[in-house]
């Protein structure tokens, strides 16, 4: 076996290149749409400054940058902690095989799609958060405890203009509607379109921090959108919304 590997050095090189390409591709996918690329560019500038200061004999600048780069691992962990958590949960996400759980997921998913379609047809603004592996409670402000079965009628009634809790978001946890009237953290990403309002920025903001799926219905246009992983997909019809939710939800989120 060892002789084969020695005589097949090109295969090892090919495997090495493929693994590096795989890792780089998934890092790009993970970081796309976040502030991480800007941070990476900033770190590259610091590294370049360190090299220049060393060759130019700028001892004080070189000492400062050298100490900073010595703590680079800690700095990267702090900066990318949310992205790292999302990636680790994504690697550990296995499909749950219980048929009853699958059926329950299908029922809840249908109710969410019907609710979004109804609200969109009436141009009633809405914000629906579906918790997945990462808990969302630490990122919610205000909110009214409900703990009820997920139905399209209940969701629609919550977002009617005369409802006292219509301005906030409803939270779906473990297949139940647990909270309503919750305020979410707004995204600070400068690349978000200026045409998006506070609901959309709140949906993106929460999805940057946890792996939740957030459904948004625009009050002005009735357009349905979904935010996941710091990115937003807009102009979804009910069929596309259903496919989108099936892609990101599996029966484990009901447990």
* Local confidence band at 100 (pLDDT 50, 70, 90 cut-offs): very low
Residues 6+ apart with CB under 8 A from 15: none
Q: Is-contact 84 76, C-beta < 8 A?
A: no
Of 28 and 143, the structure prediction assigns the larger pLDDT to 143
For position 64, what pLDDT does the model report?
Answer: 75
Mean pLDDT, range 175-196, rounded to an integer: 88
In this model, does residue 48 exceed pLDDT 80? Answer: no
**Angle, vertex CA 129, rays to CA 151 and CA 145, nearest 5:** 70
Mean pLDDT, range 10-14, rounded to an integer: 64
Backbone phi, psi, residue 155, to 5°: -60, -45
pLDDT tens digit sequence for 67-98: 766 666 676 666 666 666 655 655 555 444 44
DSSP output for 115-170: HHHHHHHTT--EEEEE--SS--GGG-EEEEEEEEE--HHHHHHHTSTTSTT-SSEE
Q: Is-contact 77 84, C-beta < 8 A?
A: yes
Of 170 and 81, the structure prediction assigns the larger pLDDT to 170
**Angle, vertex CA 212, rays to CA 21 and CA 109, nearest 5:** 110
Long-range CB contacts for residues 19-23, cutoff 8 Å, separation at least 24: none
CA distance 203 to 44: 31
Name the β-bridge partners of 148. Answer: 177
Mean pLDDT, range 179-189, rounded to an integer: 90
Q: What is the pTM of this model?
A: 0.64
Residue-range domains of the chain with CATH:
2-91 (no CATH), 99-254 (3.40.1700.10)
CA distance 251 to 52: 54
Q: Of 106, 116, 150, 114, whose CA–CA distance to 235 is shortest? A: 116
For position 200, what pLDDT does the model report?
Answer: 93
* Local confidence band at 52 (pLDDT 50, 70, 90 cut-offs): confident
pLDDT tens digit sequence for 130-141: 998 788 888 888
Q: Of 170, 250, 251, 175, whose CA–CA distance to 215 is shortest? A: 170
């Amino acid at each position: 076996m060892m002789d084969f590997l020695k005589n097949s050095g090109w295969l090892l090189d090919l495997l090495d290149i493929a693994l590096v390409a795989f890792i780089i591709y998934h890092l790009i996918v993970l970081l796309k749409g976040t502030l991480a690329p800007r941070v990476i560019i900033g770190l590259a500038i610091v590294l370049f400054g360190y090299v220049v200061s060393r060759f130019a004999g700028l001892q004080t600048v070189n000492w400062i940058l050298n100490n900073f780069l010595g703590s680079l691992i800690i700095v990267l962990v702090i900066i990318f902690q949310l992205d790292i958590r999302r990636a680790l949960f994504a690697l550990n996400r296995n499909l749950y095989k219980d048929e009853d759980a699958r059926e329950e997921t299908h029922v809840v998913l249908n109710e969410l799609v019907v609710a979004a379609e109804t609200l969109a047809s009436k141009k009633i603004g809405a914000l629906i958060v579906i918790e997945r592996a990462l808990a969302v409670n630490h990122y919610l402000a205000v909110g009214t405890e409900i703990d009820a079965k997920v139905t399209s009628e209940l969701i629609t009634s919550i977002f009617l203009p005369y409802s006292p809790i219509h301005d906030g978001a409803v939270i779906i946890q473990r297949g139940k509607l647990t909270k309503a009237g919750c305020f979410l953290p707004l995204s600070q990403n400068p690349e978000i379109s200026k045409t998006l309002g506070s609901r959309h920025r709140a949906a993106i903001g929460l999805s940057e921090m946890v792996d939740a799926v957030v459904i948004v219905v625009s009050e002005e246009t009735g357009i349905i959108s979904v935010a996941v992983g710091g990115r937003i997909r807009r102009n979804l019809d009910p069929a596309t919304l259903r496919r989108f939710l099936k892609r990101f939800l599996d029966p484990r989120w009901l447990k």
